[in-house]
Amino acid sequence: MLPAVVLANDDLGPEPASFEDLGKIISNILNIALRLAGIAAFIMIIVGGFQYLTAGGDPKKTQAAGQTITYAVFGLIAVIAAWFILLFIKKFTGVDITITNLDFNFVGF
């Protein structure tokens, strides 16, 4: 019987997280949050418009619909301002946190 040759495997799995990965994580969270906020504002504008159409001349319902639309527009302005703040940070620090690096390679997909 001859001994079998055993080769060591240098692949120890994925590398541990580093400080650079923190920027990617923050970038992903901010981009997802900004997109969800923009979608929510758009949906609220539609809801406010529907409320206004179905108010039937009732002053309280009309006022509530107007407030919904107003708050949705202010929310949309806040989302756009947040995006410009991120671009401002990118311009002056060189840190690009507006790029999303999402990896959806889950088990089973």
List pLDDT tens digits, range 16-39: 767 667 777 777 787 788 888 889
| Rg of the Cα atoms in the chain | 25
Q: Which two tokens stand for residue 29?
A: 């969270």
Q: Which residue has the higher pLDDT, 62 or 27?
A: 62
Structure confidence by residue, pLDDT tens digits, 71-86: 999 988 988 898 888 8
Q: Which residue has the tokens 């529907």?
A: 50
Which pTM does this prediction carry? 0.63
The distance from CA 75 to its chain's CA centroid, rounded to whole angstroms, is 15
The H-or-E segment that residue 42 falls in is: helix 19-53
